[in-house]
């Protein structure tokens, strides 16, 4: 019988974006085994209605349950924002989302508590980041900006393109202008989608040196570590194993993922949901 601590951690995202969280988890928790699932066949989740996002997330959790994961990370801001409160009560294992850790990272980074949230349409509509930020600091000034073009650009391998820079500029510049003068309205930009760190360079360039850019990867990995410790689920024996699954074309997924992981990425396997 396999000990609970030896079971893998499941990591779920709508596509390749959650690999940014997986990378940080593997850095902070090198002894843990992981199973990653990217639902590329149905991405992006951001424009979808809430009931559909909840249904997709439930299907993913059922998929992980069949593979005996000891903990599941919703490394998808949209799924976390819309579905976490629903599916957490239905799960027999702990589920960690990325919204609360991301909010904590932003509050820690912001000097003026003036924070801009770049996120998908569904995440902005849910108000999850605004609530989480104001739970941590009731006086925080939060501006949300939906960025529907960014996930498709990342998933199509165009993160470094002129098209991506133009899209980022269109979303970020309104947060940098007040009364027609270029003066940052916010001092911190929170990347409220795990795909967006793949655009960090262009976002930082557009935002300028006076604005800090943060994401949830490091703080989410820290939250995972704390849960494993508190539940005595830290893996202490044997070599860890890692598997990566995608519901869409594995060749395309592998190509984009290689930019994140280099040659350390395991072979991408085909998965099916629904």
pLDDT of 182 > 60? The answer is no
pLDDT tens, position by position, 8-43:
999 999 988 899 899 999 999 999 999 999 999 998
User: Dihedral angle at the C-alpha atoms of 89, 95, 101, 102, nearest 10 degrees?
Assistant: -90
pLDDT of 66 > 90? The answer is yes
Q: Which residues contact 144 (CB under 8 A, 6 or more apart)?
A: 116, 117, 119, 124, 127, 129, 130, 192
Q: Which residues contact 264 (CB under 8 A, 6 or more apart)?
A: none
Mean of all residue pLDDT scores within the chain: 91
Mean pLDDT of 118-137: 95
First vs last Cα of the chain: how many Å apart?
Answer: 30
pLDDT tens, position by position, 46-62:
999 999 999 999 999 99
Q: In what order do the strands lie in the sheet with 188-192?
A: 141-146, 114-119, 188-192, 212-214
Nearest to 79 by CA among 44, 106, 118, 104: 44
Mean pLDDT of 80-91: 94
Nearest to 105 by CA among 231, 21, 209: 21
Question: 17 vs 69, 111, 194, 219, 229, CA distance in Å?
Answer: 20, 28, 5, 16, 26
Q: Check residue 1 and give its pLDDT.
A: 39
pLDDT tens, position by position, 210-251:
899 999 998 999 999 999 999 999 998 889 999 999 998 898
Mean pLDDT of 196-205: 93
pTM for this prediction = 0.89
Sign of torsion over alpha carbons 157, 159, 160, 165: positive
Structural domains of the chain in order of their starting residue, each with its CATH number: 4-98+218-270 (3.40.50.1860), 100-216 (3.40.50.1860)
Q: Check residue 11 and give its pLDDT.
A: 98
> Pairing relation of β-strands 181-182 and 34-38?
unpaired
Q: Which residues contact 195 (CB under 8 A, 6 or more apart)?
A: 15, 16, 17, 20, 150, 151, 154, 155
> Pairing relation of β-strands 181-182 and 95-97?
unpaired
Mean pLDDT of 139-150: 94
User: Which residues belong to the active site?
Assistant: 76, 193
Q: Which two tokens stand for residue 51?
A: 């009931």
């Amino acid at each position: 019988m396999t000990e609970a601590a030896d079971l893998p951690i499941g990591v779920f995202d709508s596509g390749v974006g959650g690999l940014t969280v997986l990378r940080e988890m593997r850095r902070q928790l090198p002894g843990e085994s992981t199973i990653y699932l990217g639902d590329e066949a149905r991405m992006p989740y951001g424009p979808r209605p809430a009931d559909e996002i909840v249904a997709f997330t439930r299907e993913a959790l059922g998929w992980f349950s069949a593979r005996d994961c000891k903990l599941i990370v919703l490394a998808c801001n949209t799924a976390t924002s819309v579905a976490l409160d629903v599916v957490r009560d239905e799960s027999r294992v702990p589920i960690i989302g990325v919204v609360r850790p991301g909010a904590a990272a932003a509050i820690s980074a912001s000097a003026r508590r003036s924070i801009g949230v770049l996120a998908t349409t569904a995440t902005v509509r849910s108000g999850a980041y605004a609530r989480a930020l104001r739970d941590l600091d009731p006086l925080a000034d939060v501006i949300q900006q939906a960025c529907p073009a960014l996930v498709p650009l990342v998933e199509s391998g165009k993160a470094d393109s002129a098209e991506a820079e133009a899209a980022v500029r269109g979303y970020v510049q309104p947060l940098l202008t007040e009364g027609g003068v270029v003066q940052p309205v916010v001092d911190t930009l929170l990347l409220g989608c795990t795909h967006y760190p793949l655009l960090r360079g262009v976002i930082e360039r557009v935002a300028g040196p006076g604005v800090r850019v943060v994401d949830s990867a490091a703080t989410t990995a820290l939250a995972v570590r704390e849960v494993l410790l508190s539940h005595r689920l830290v893996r202490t024996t044997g070599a860890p194993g890692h598997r990566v699954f995608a519901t869409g074309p594995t060749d395309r997924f592998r190509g984009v993922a290689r930019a994140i992981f280099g040659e350390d990425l395991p072979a991408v396997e085909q998965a099916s949901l629904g």
